[in-house]
Amino acid sequence: MAVSNFGSGGGGFQVSPGINISEIDITSVVPAVSSTVGAIGGVFRWGPVDKLQLVDSENSLAILYGKPSNLNSETWFTAASFLSYSNALYVSRAKDVSLLSAVAGTGLSTSNSAHTVLNSDDHEAKQATFDAAVDYVARYPGALGNTLKVSVCDSAAQYSSNVNLGTVGSNTLFGNAATKLTLAVGSNTAQVVLANTGALVNDNSAPYAITVKAQFTVGDVITVGNSTIGTQTIKITGLGETSTTVYANGSNLPAGYAAFSVSLDQPLKLAGAVDTVTVPRFWEYFNQVNQAPGKSEFQNSYGTNVNDELHVVVADEDGLFTGNPGTVLEVYAGLSRATDAKLSDGGTNYYKNVINSRSQFIWFASDRALATSAAAASLTASTNTVPLTLSFVGGVDTATEDAILFGGLATAYDLFATTAGIDISLLMTGKSRGGSTGEQLGNYLIDNVAEVRKDCIVFVSPRREAVVNNPITAAADIVAMRNNMRSSSYGVMDSGYKYIYDKYNDLYRYIPLNGDIAGLCVRTDANRDPWFSPAGINRGQIKNSIKLSYNPSKADRDVLYKSSVNPVVTQPGYGSMLFGDKTLLSKPSAFDRINVRRLFIVLEKAVANAAQSTIFEFNDEFTRTQFRNLIEPFLRDIQGRRGIYDYKVVCDETNNTAEVIDGNRFVGDIYVKPAKSINYIQLNFVAVRSGIEFSAIVG
């Protein structure tokens, strides 16, 4: 918009004639609020600790927090059950003193506890303190990190070379014609024989033979054969000890000879045996990158004759992440050891920064020996001759979900206790823990999270012992736990466990239902609104349930519902469903129903957010009218969507008295009549004789 030359460009008061244009925004509306975000804490095998992570699917849960195991099946599948209804779940991983990160390095001698990294913030604080023997640290703590392997190739010679068995450096010490690698058809063990030229005795030939063997490393890929018998590519899986006395088969070696065996990942399948003195070898992951590491464009711009590039590969050595041992997880090609290295788009290419910012599995800790980092202008070339391949070791899990100390669970859930920066509505306990009947965790969450935040509900299931293989006293045991629970409209308790198939471990498990009950609330929000009951045939169907551990009878349902426990039942033709919608509030009240509590959570969150625009305004009739005009259309919309029967907003001089105004306060009273769900149906069938009008009977 053009500014008039006659304008003062000032504020509300002008000091000379002119026109001043201002905009005043009075278009505020009541914002939509989320009521479908879930939260859970507990034992997981992977993922950040002391830091919340939002997960959007079961697949993401498996990737970010590891697959389920006997360590944490009830917690894991509670989360997965919720995610079958929702796409938003915050996870908080619990820890105890046993939790350690796996590390990889040469000559490790220090305790893993000094290198345990809980999350990205913890890494930022610790990265300058890692021991020089530690090259890499697993991204997250736990035994799952022990499945990782990292391989680094930082020169062209490591990428590929032709190993001449008869040469050690510039000396042809084993130039005897008997020097060769032999491999029989059908065998997966090759024998390398080194026959010296006669100048060495056994004792002196040993160190030279070790130097020859050092040109190979486990994982190298070698090519054997020729144009006559064909060629075959085979991976080295092991290198035997160097001997100067016996062949690998145990027979005696001639004087001055040395030998060692080479184990291979597959037998020789060519037309004839292999007998060669030259062995082409390649880095284990040569086929994961386009070319050998060389000099980057950034390094080349400095005019120094130093190759700075390196390739880094992260693999699932034992297959615990992917189910397939040896699967490549991440490939970083053409990174630089120059600390100031940049890509053409200006982003960093320094390998430490790239790995730390992009990897899902490892943290960088220290440079490899003889291949250190430096600014491009002062960088020196790598003098390493073989790739660096390291297996991670030392990772340790927490105790199981049954045994972890309650304090570890409480600390994990404490991250949800504040409303600042995180919006949650549905808080699941997973496996009930603590107290004489399993009530401690549920009570802790009601007291310290839900009743503090006032915007979420805690979902609780009975402890496993009460409902799995306990057909006689299940109802009584459930009620005993409920009687030890708090009376609160911010808590909801169901009646048991469901039986599911665990596809990750190919077995069947019982898991608690609280993830499903929270999930039903999400599905209700999606199909209707938060103020509808999540129970019954229309909205209460439980997903992925083979059977219930306990299917309460009508008599048991009466006992449970009287105690504010919501039965989950299986009915022929309908499957398993939630058959109750009570909260844990003991006193008779509208808030003893899930739909009413959730209605008020939505109303309170939305109106509180809308009222933010009133802070620092004047408490006068204009502001009060603006507030009423903001809230009443919102409540009218809720009424039209069957959430409330009626409402009234009072915000005038009757409740904003002179005393309220002088205290810099503002009062708005909002009265609503919440809609009630039908819990009990009475159908009366009356027989009427012929000749009688119905109007005479029903008035």
User: Is residue 154 predicted with pLDDT exceeding 80?
Assistant: yes
Closest CA to 326 of 221, 441, 177, 180: 221
Rounded Cα distance, 551 and 571, in Å = 9
Q: Which residue shows structure tokens 């005019």?
A: 303
Distance CA 537, CA 305 (A): 75
- From the number of C-beta atoms within 10 Å of its C-beta (0-12, 13-18, 19+), residue 357 rates as exposed
| Cα separation, 590 vs 543, whole angstroms | 29
Residue 423 and residue 572 share a domain: yes
Average pLDDT, the chain: 92
- Stretch 486-515: mean pLDDT, rounded? 98
311: β partners: 153
| Residue 160 sits in the same domain as residue 217 | yes
Query: Do both 549 and 409 map to the same domain?
Result: yes
pLDDT of residue 108: 76
What Å distances lie between residue 675 and 426, 535, 539, 572, 597, CA to CA? Answer: 21, 15, 17, 30, 11
Q: How confident is the model at residue 299 (pLDDT cuts 50, 70, 90)?
A: very high
- CA nearest neighbour of 430 among 458, 453, 467, 399: 458
User: What's the structural domain count of the chain?
Assistant: 4
Q: Which residues of 400-426 are buried (b: 16+ CB within 10 A; e: fewer)?
A: bbeebeeebbbbbbbbbeeeeeebbbb
> Which range among 237-241, 257-261, 395-399, 695-699 shows the weakest confidence by mean pLDDT?
695-699
Residue 646 has pLDDT above 80, yes or no: yes
- How far is the C-alpha of 225 from the C-alpha of 268, rounded, in Å? 10
Q: Tell me the mean pLDDT in the region 80-108.
A: 95
Q: 317 — alpha (psi -120 to 50), left (phi > 0) or beta?
A: alpha
At residue 488, the pLDDT reads 98
Of 549, 524, 525, the C-alpha closest to 468 is 549
Joined tokens for residue 196: 């010296």
Q: Has residue 660 been placed in a domain?
A: yes
User: Which residues, including other chains, have CB under 8 Å from residue 590's CB and lie 6 or more apart?
Assistant: 596, 674, 676
Mean pLDDT of 102-111: 81
The tokens for 242 are: 């160097």
Closest CA to 93 of 502, 361, 401, 394: 401
User: What local confidence, expressed as pLDDT, does residue 203 receive?
Assistant: 77
Q: Do 141 and 161 belong together in one domain?
A: no
Distance separating alpha carbons of residues 124 and 313, to the nearest angstrom:
23
Q: Is-contact 86 428, C-beta < 8 A?
A: no
Say if 27 falls within a structural domain: no
> pLDDT grade, residue 174 (50/70/90)?
confident
Residue 346 has pLDDT above 70, yes or no: yes
What span, in angstroms and rounded, lies between the C-alpha atoms of 101 and 82?
29
CA distances from 555 to 463, 471, 479 (A): 21, 14, 14
Q: Is the pLDDT of residue 26 over 60?
A: no
pLDDT bin (cut points 50, 70, 90) of residue 9 is: very low
Q: Where are the beta strands (DSSP E) in 589-698?
A: 644-650, 669-674
Same domain, 361 and 214: no
144 and 163 share a domain? no
Is 268 among the domain residues?
A: yes
Q: Does residue 574 fall inside a structural domain? A: yes
| Mean of pLDDT values over 600-624 | 92
Is the pLDDT at 200 greater than 90, yes or no? no
Per-residue pLDDT tens over the stretch 107-152: 776 667 788 999 999 999 999 999 889 999 999 999 999 999 999 9
Percentage with pLDDT > 70 across the chain: 95
Residue 242 carries which DSSP code?
P
Q: Are 271 and 229 in contact (CB under 8 A)?
A: yes
For residue 688, the model assigns a pLDDT of 80
Average pLDDT (655-675) is 96
Q: Are residues 566 and 435 in the same domain?
A: yes
* Confidence (pLDDT) at 696: 79
% pLDDT > 90, the chain: 81
CATH of the domain at 527: 3.40.50.11780
Query: Can you tell me the distance from the alpha carbon of 355 to that of 373, in angstroms, rounded to the nearest whole number?
Result: 14
Residue 36 pLDDT = 87
- pLDDT at site 165: 93
The pLDDT value given to residue 6:
47
The predicted model gives 687-692 an average pLDDT of: 82
Query: Is residue 190 assigned to a domain?
Result: yes
Choice among 7-21, 216-230, 497-511 with the minimum mean pLDDT: 7-21
Q: How far apart are CA 297 and CA 289, in angstroms?
A: 17
Check whether 2 has a pLDDT greater than 60.
Answer: no
Q: Are residues 337 and 255 in the same domain?
A: no
Q: List for the chain the helix, strand, coil content (%; round to 5).
A: 25, 25, 50
- In the predicted model, is pLDDT for residue 1 greater than 50? no
Same domain, 428 and 575: yes
Asked if residue 184 and residue 325 are part of one domain, the reply reads no
The structure tokens listed for 495 are: 């009646």
Looking at the fold, whether 172 and 143 belong to one and the same domain comes out as no
The per-residue pLDDT for 27 is 54
Range of the domain at 551: 38-95+400-595
H helices, E strands: number in the chain: 19, 28
Range 19-42 average pLDDT: 70
Task: Tell me whether residue 114 is in a domain.
Answer: no
Inter-residue contact 89 to 38 (CB < 8 Å):
yes
Residue 572 phi, psi dihedral angles, 5° rounding? -55, 130
- How confident is the model at residue 4, as a pLDDT? 46
- What 8-state DSSP symbol labels residue 635? H
Beta bridge partners of 236: 264
In terms of Cβ atoms closer than 10 Å to its own Cβ (0-12, 13-18, 19+), residue 582 is buried
Q: What digits encode the pLDDT tens for the residues 431-464?
A: 999 999 999 999 999 999 999 999 999 999 999 9
Q: Is 607 helix (H, G, I), strand (E, B) or coil?
A: helix
Q: Is the pLDDT of residue 5 over 60?
A: no
292 lies in a domain? no
Band (18; pLDDT cuts 50, 70, 90):
low
- Among residues 591, 553, 589, 590, the alpha carbon closest in space to that of 571 is found at 553
Convert the pLDDT of each residue in 532-588 to its tens digit.
Answer: 999 999 999 999 999 999 999 999 999 999 999 999 999 999 999 999 999 999 999
pLDDT of residue 3: 45
Considering the domain architecture, whether residues 143 and 163 belong to the same structural domain is answered as no
Q: Where are the alpha helices (DSSP H) in 66-162?
A: 73-83, 120-126, 156-159
Q: Strand 309-316 vs strand 89-93: parallel, antiparallel, or unpaired?
A: unpaired
587 inside domain: yes
Kindly state the tokens that stand for 249. Answer: 């088969």
Q: How far apart are CA 293 and CA 156, in angstroms?
A: 6
**Phi then psi dihedrals of residue 640, to 5 deg:** -65, -25
